[in-house]
């Protein structure tokens, strides 16, 4: 089977993990800070906090921004459930902003209209989470400017987008946001098996995320109440979690970082080939903004008869998938008052979406197999 996505593991990656297994530290050693420094340098951020998943990274980001009961978090329906769930973890209310019909990213016009209405009713959100769907950055200049106008904090869900660029600068530099979050799940651009990371330029936010990712415990005397009892002393100053990344995960991530640009270049090459190979077919391809160099986590196509084409592609041995079922239609969120019709662009996109295979290790020959299977499936209709 040709999957829709998969990891690329080299002998160097394996050796790096084995080295850690033979070392003194499996957790809380030197490699996690090395991995954090490598990502911070790559994206041009002052701080990087590695954690055990992007979900945890989004959660510590929300906690660092003081999201709590009585607050609101807005994200898009076209995302993985985690982007919304972190709001619920914090006791906040979750709402959504619809996407554009061509890029499938948060629509700045929809955001502006919703912000104006929310201001009039005193229901502005505290935190906004735009999602760089499929690896393409949202229109962060406009989203960031709107957030500033309305006094809202921004967390970029860049789970799909490490290695991507926006206006010739790396995604994750937080030029238009407070915090950006990456995922290192095996289907994403680089992997640590499970793992995630949050970047920020803000010293205070970085300090707060570090507290929350390890039990709310600190050994830094300037964060303590009163004097230290001695060199053994630590204090718990807030409620945190154990969201730490292990040394094995960080070693894998650090080794993968050296191939990040190659992975993204190959994904772009494959995407350009799909654009060309699918051009004469009854298939909608994802639009790209001139501001964006996508990391191409996904290549989502639009087809008229999605259910049948999806089944035919699965039957022909392709591990196609659908990203995403609109979050507001999940029973958990429907029970909170959302229904079909609330976000029509995300719903219309979902109704026709299929994610076709795209990963750095996909061969040109396998890509042709995919395209021919799509041609056959469409011809049957
Ligand atoms: C994968 C993903 C997440 C969650 O990542 P984990 O590392 O699996 O927790 C969050 N948001 C989006 C958009 C994702 O694709």
**Confidence at residue 381, expressed as pLDDT on a 0 to 100 scale:** 77
Question: From the CB of 160, is ligand 1 less than 6 Å away?
Answer: yes
Identify the three-state secondary structure at position 282: coil
Bridge-partner residues for 157, per DSSP? Answer: 131, 181
Question: From the CB of 85, is ligand 1 less than 6 Å away?
Answer: no
Helix ranges, the chain (H): 11-21, 31-43, 54-64, 82-89, 108-121, 140-150, 203-212, 247-257, 260-277, 306-315, 331-334, 344-352, 364-380
Question: From the CB of 52, is ligand 1 less than 6 Å away?
Answer: no
**Confidence at residue 343, expressed as pLDDT on a 0 to 100 scale:** 98
pTM (two decimals): 0.98
| Residue % of the chain over a pLDDT of 70 | 100
* Calculated CA dihedral for residues 80, 82, 85, 90, nearest 10 degrees: -150
- Closest-CA residue, ligand 1 atom 2, reads 159
pLDDT class of 6 with cuts at 50, 70, 90: very high
- Tens digits of per-residue pLDDT, 145-204? 999 999 999 999 999 999 999 999 999 999 999 999 999 999 999 999 999 999 999 999
- The mean pLDDT value for 99-112 works out to 98
Q: Which fold has domain 2-257?
A: 3.40.640
Identify the three-state secondary structure at position 97: coil
- Tens digits of per-residue pLDDT, 14-37? 999 999 999 999 999 999 999 999
Judge contact between 108 and 154, C-beta under 8 A: no
Question: From the CB of 196, is ligand 1 less than 6 Å away?
Answer: yes
- Tens digits of per-residue pLDDT, 215-228? 999 999 999 999 99
**Confidence at residue 378, expressed as pLDDT on a 0 to 100 scale:** 97
Mean pLDDT of the chain: 97
In the chain, domain spans = 2-257, 260-379
Q: What span, in angstroms and rounded, lies between the C-alpha atoms of 381 and 378?
A: 5
- The mean pLDDT value for 269-280 works out to 97
C-alpha pair distances (Å), 365 with each of 62, 193, 223, 285, 376: 44, 27, 57, 20, 17
Q: How far is the CA of 72 from the centre of ligand 1 (A)?
A: 20
pLDDT class of 293 with cuts at 50, 70, 90: very high
Find out if CATH 3.40.50.300 is the number for domain 260-379.
Answer: no
Residue among 53, 61, 85, 159 to mutate when testing ligand 1 (max atoms within 8 A of CB):
159
């Amino acid at each position: 089977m040709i999957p829709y996505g998969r990891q690329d593991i080299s002998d160097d990656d394996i050796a790096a993990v084995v080295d850690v297994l033979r070392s003194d530290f499996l957790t809380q050693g030197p490699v996690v800070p090395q991995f954090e420094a490598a990502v911070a340098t790559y994206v041009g951020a002052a701080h990087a906090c590695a954690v055990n998943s992007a979900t945890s990274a989004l959660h510590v980001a929300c906690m660092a921004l003081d999201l709590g009961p009585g607050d609101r978090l807005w994200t898009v329906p076209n995302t993985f459930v985690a982007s919304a769930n972190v709001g619920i973890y914090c006791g906040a209310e979750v709402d959504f902003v619809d996407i554009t019909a061509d890029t499938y990213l948060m629509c700045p016009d929809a955001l502006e209209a919703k912000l104006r209405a929310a201001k009039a009713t005193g229901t502005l959100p505290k935190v906004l989470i735009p999602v760089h769907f499929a690896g393409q950055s949202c229109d962060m200049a406009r989203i960031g400017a709107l957030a500033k106008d309305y006094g809202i904090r921004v967390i970029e869900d860049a789970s799909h987008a490490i290695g991507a660029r926006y206006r010739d600068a790396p995604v994750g530099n937080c030029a238009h946001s407070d915090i950006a979050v990456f995922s290192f799940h095996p289907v994403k651009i680089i992997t640590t098996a499970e793992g995630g990371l949050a970047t920020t330029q803000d010293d205070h936010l970085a300090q707060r995320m570090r507290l929350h990712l390890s039990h709310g415990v600190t050994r830094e005397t300037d964060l303590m109440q009163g004097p230290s009892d001695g060199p053994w002393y630590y204090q718990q100053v807030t409620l945190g979690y154990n969201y730490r990344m292990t040394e094995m995960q960080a070693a894998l991530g650090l080794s993968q970082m050296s191939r990040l640009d190659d992975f993204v270049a190959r994904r772009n090459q494959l995407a350009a080939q799909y654009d060309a190979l699918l051009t004469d077919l009854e298939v909608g391809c994802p639009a790209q903004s001139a501001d964006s160099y996508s990391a191409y986590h996904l290549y989502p196509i639009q087809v008229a008869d999605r259910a049948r084409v999806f089944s035919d592609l699965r039957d022909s041995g392709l591990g196609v998938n659908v990203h995403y079922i609109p979050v507001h239609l999940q029973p958990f969120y429907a029970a909170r008052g959302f229904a079909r019709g609330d976000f029509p662009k995300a719903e219309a996109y979902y109704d026709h979406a299929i994610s076709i295979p795209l990963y750095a290790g996909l061969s040109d020959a396998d890509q042709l197999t995919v395209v021919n299977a799509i041609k056959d499936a469409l011809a049957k209709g």
